[in-house]
Structure 1
């Protein structure tokens, strides 16, 4: 179905992919893995002709999809064969509400109205979007928007579906639902699916084969992940324990785990004393029309605490962060940081008090180069020149002369995080900070956040990052707090939010903990 014949893709004389020869069969689910910047998105975009027709650059070799050479067929002439969903679903929206967006691709193909209506209904049910079918896209949560983008690609009934980080904004339950739906398309309809995803623990068990970039090596999922610089916890645990063959699912790993459980002692738990609050929020309420996004939430954030805010998509996490930070909507309630409500502060002063990195970091980037953004951050916060740049270099490799809009998702996040940290805020709020980051990059982020004097609250669906990083977990549902306690207690008591190691070995949370105990 998809064939790359000695493909090399070059931008500005720098090859992003070199000499890739790969064949992906009809009805196969292929997982594309590799470090950030290894060419995964370029590979995916070459499948539907966005590379080179839209992106520019030079393509040597041939890419064939269902017998069509993508060098001769632009994306519009491959739309009936290939459905594509990029990293940023919002960037691909063309309509205002959910139903219109789902119907748009079919309208472009000139399908009859009765066919369109039937497919829209099927897709709404398949992806759990029926409750928001009439909602404007701008009012949806990030996870809901991602499901709409996937649905819009599916309604055209393509033979190939290409997904670039399809679960990055989804809570664990929603991610499982979407991937289960994708698996049904593969098994029941014979659709070919190619997925690039950093959260491999979610996807690996569904894949038939894995492709490692930039090497271009393709093979069994466990074999490829064991040799890759990025691997989910279940694979790293298998390597520590010496299991063979390498399992890629929790179910397979549990079959190996009996002897390992017997070798492990009970993990020690220390209850840390709650630190003096640096931020106090009381009875926070946020309403958007008839929707009550946050309902009477009160919380104290202690100095140096590392808090993970979890919950399904639409539970009110982002609304709570914005209300606490002061620049978002707050219908009622009070917030105090050192006796001052951040809402009354000027933006520069607010950033030094309670800084927030949003889900879309690029919203805060407006200058022409990375160097200019860093210099502006230093000037606005009164820090010595080079402060922001030093912070950025500790997070990621980002060219100083690059335009911020040309950076990858992970690089943009690193830049905005460095900008916010330049002011040394007492409280740092982050909304889905691990989107676009591979495992080594997340380890660096966790290390940086642990080293801060600031209290940190991050809203996230990344249960593996929470296990590595958080000291306290708050779970929200329907705008209310339903759980608040030490990270180990909260995540191990939930089958949805438990990390892979916990599902295999009970009270243990991370591979590093297990390795140290052994």
Structure 2
């Protein structure tokens, strides 16, 4: 059993106080709460990142099977604790997916035959054979998340921890992840998941731990319902299906359909891009003023399209026009909040970061205050939580005041309250006459925000894809 007794975690100030929690083998515990309440820090204390890599003040007892975990370093804890981080790319060491699965086992000096058998066994058990022998950098965000999950499963540890595991997963991938959890639970593993999206756990979790105002409140599965979620401002416990979103403003767009040219405020003409010999994009797109949600399965090309629009994929073919004029350079017209916000943060403080895009101090203060970041102006951007980083990029988008805004999975680190705040900001942007393109798997966001929905489909994807939801 993993157990906290009278445990406190503090940085400049205490973030979690007097924790008394236990985690049993064969149980799934979901840890939730508003962004910045300490969920990721809590996991880092368990695996040893805090205090061995990231400084913090700790007090109290943390034990596993009677052993004091605080006496063990990260390497020693890794013998029985596995973690899938919020951004799986931060834990990859290889360029080939099979090599990545083998990496931790090779470091344990296991025989080659045992490593190969472990990989074969776990990929078969978890239904992840399609992830074998793939170049990691060509995988979609969701496929990278599943690869990270499979890689840590191959370690066959006692404790598995996941930080926002659904952030990049489509509905099919979430179903696969649920199957992984069921199998790990049946094997008697201790499973701890920090997550905002709760609907897919409703029939899986054994207990819910809510971090609120520095304290931990524990609810058994029988007491976890929508009334509890509403009382504490949590995300929905009811699954929202694609059929719930079908409205007049819904359309499907083949990425391999070179139809007649369209007019529009923003015209992406004859876009074409391939990863090696594999084409992922060959189409055109047009957008007018308003809010556009782009949905579609993992790997279908949603993020690739955004990268082409932003000019980040240098070898892509096509032209981009805004109000009839070539969109070049794109940064003069576009503001982007990408899936991995760490690549968009460059300076030593929140204030310096937002000052990159504006010198209007009053506008910067107003944007940071609206997004609850004004008290963090002196913090290093990389010290913020995932949700706080996304909100910083959103504040920068507000003060940059460009006509085109692009978002890639903007709710991956946001709680319900901050998701609703994001929706308010999106509506304000639309009222200001902007065009917003938002890639997401978050149907709760789409249902609450409204707007036009475009589903990307590939040329090999069956038309009955919509029935999967």
Would you say same fold, with TM above 0.5? yes
Cross-structure match for 1:510 = none
Within a 5 Å distance, the mapping from 1:35-184 to structure 2 comes to 35-184=34-183
The partner residue of 2:324 within 331, 339, 345 is 339
Task: State how far apart, in whole Å, the 2-side matches of 1:70 and 1:359 are.
Answer: 34
Deviations 1:252-283 (A, max 9, x none): xxxxxxxxxxxxxxx9x7879xx983101233
Task: State how far apart, in whole Å, the 1-side matches of 2:405 and 2:195 are.
Answer: 27
Cross-structure match for 2:269 = 282
The partner residue of 2:426 within 444, 449, 452 is 449
CA shift, 1:57, in A, is: 1.8
CA shift, 1:128, in A, is: 4.8
Matched, 1:421 2:398: yes
Which SS does the other structure have where 2:86 is aligned? coil
TM-score with structure 2 setting the length:
0.88
Deviations 1:445-469 (A, max 9, x none): 0111011121111111111111112
CA shift, 1:443, in A, is: 0.5
Matched, 1:353 2:353: no
**Alignment CA distance shift 1:211-1:70 (3 Å):** same
**Alignment CA distance shift 1:167-1:234 (3 Å):** closer
Cross-structure match for 1:323 = 308
The partner residue of 1:408 within 357, 382, 385 is 385
Deviations 1:411-454 (A, max 9, x none): 11111222233232222111111111111110000111011121
Residues 249 and 451, structure 2, Cα contact 8 Å, conserved in 1:
no
Task: State how far apart, in whole Å, the 2-side matches of 1:482 and 1:441 are.
Answer: 36
CA shift, 1:496, in A, is: 4.7
Matched, 1:314 2:299: yes
Residues 33 and 234, structure 2, Cα contact 8 Å, conserved in 1:
no
The partner residue of 1:435 within 391, 412, 417 is 412
Residues 89 and 146, structure 1, Cα contact 8 Å, conserved in 2:
yes
Which SS does the other structure have where 1:33 is aligned? strand
Which is worse superposed, 419-428 or 177-186?
A: 419-428
Q: How many residues align?
A: 446
**Alignment CA distance shift 1:223-1:387 (3 Å):** same
Which is worse superposed, 315-324 or 132-141?
A: 132-141
Within a 5 Å distance, the mapping from 1:491-510 to structure 2 comes to 494=466, 496=468
The partner residue of 1:210 within 204, 208, 211 is 208
Matched, 1:4 2:7: no
CA shift, 1:250, in A, is: 8.8
Cross-structure match for 1:243 = none
Cross-structure match for 1:367 = 347
Task: State how far apart, in whole Å, the 2-side matches of 1:282 and 1:89 are.
Answer: 33
**Alignment CA distance shift 1:464-1:138 (3 Å):** same
Residues 354 and 425, structure 1, Cα contact 8 Å, conserved in 2:
yes
Cross-structure match for 1:514 = none
Which is worse superposed, 90-99 or 459-468?
A: 90-99
Within a 5 Å distance, the mapping from 1:191-206 to structure 2 comes to 191-206=189-204
Cross-structure match for 1:300 = 286
Task: State how far apart, in whole Å, the 1-side matches of 2:137 and 2:362 are.
Answer: 37
Matched, 1:393 2:373: no
Cross-structure match for 2:258 = none
Task: State how far apart, in whole Å, the 1-side matches of 2:190 and 2:381 are.
Answer: 34
CA shift, 1:388, in A, is: 3.3
Deviations 1:320-354 (A, max 9, x none): 11222334346333321022222x32xxxx33422
CA shift, 1:222, in A, is: 5.3
Which is worse superposed, 332-341 or 195-204?
A: 332-341
Task: State how far apart, in whole Å, the 2-side matches of 1:495 and 1:444 are.
Answer: 31
Residues 316 and 479, structure 1, Cα contact 8 Å, conserved in 2:
no
CA shift, 1:40, in A, is: 1.1
Residues 50 and 75, structure 1, Cα contact 8 Å, conserved in 2:
yes
**Alignment CA distance shift 1:138-1:250 (3 Å):** closer
Cross-structure match for 1:458 = 438
**Alignment CA distance shift 1:141-1:454 (3 Å):** same
Residues 353 and 425, structure 1, Cα contact 8 Å, conserved in 2:
yes
**Alignment CA distance shift 1:282-1:479 (3 Å):** farther
- Where in structure 1 are there 5+ consecutive unaligned residues? 236-248, 252-266, 484-489, 498-518
C-alpha RMSD of the superposition: 2.7
**Alignment CA distance shift 1:389-1:326 (3 Å):** farther
Task: State how far apart, in whole Å, the 2-side matches of 1:105 and 1:388 are.
Answer: 45
Task: State how far apart, in whole Å, the 2-side matches of 1:422 and 1:276 are.
Answer: 29
Task: State how far apart, in whole Å, the 2-side matches of 1:44 and 1:184 are.
Answer: 22
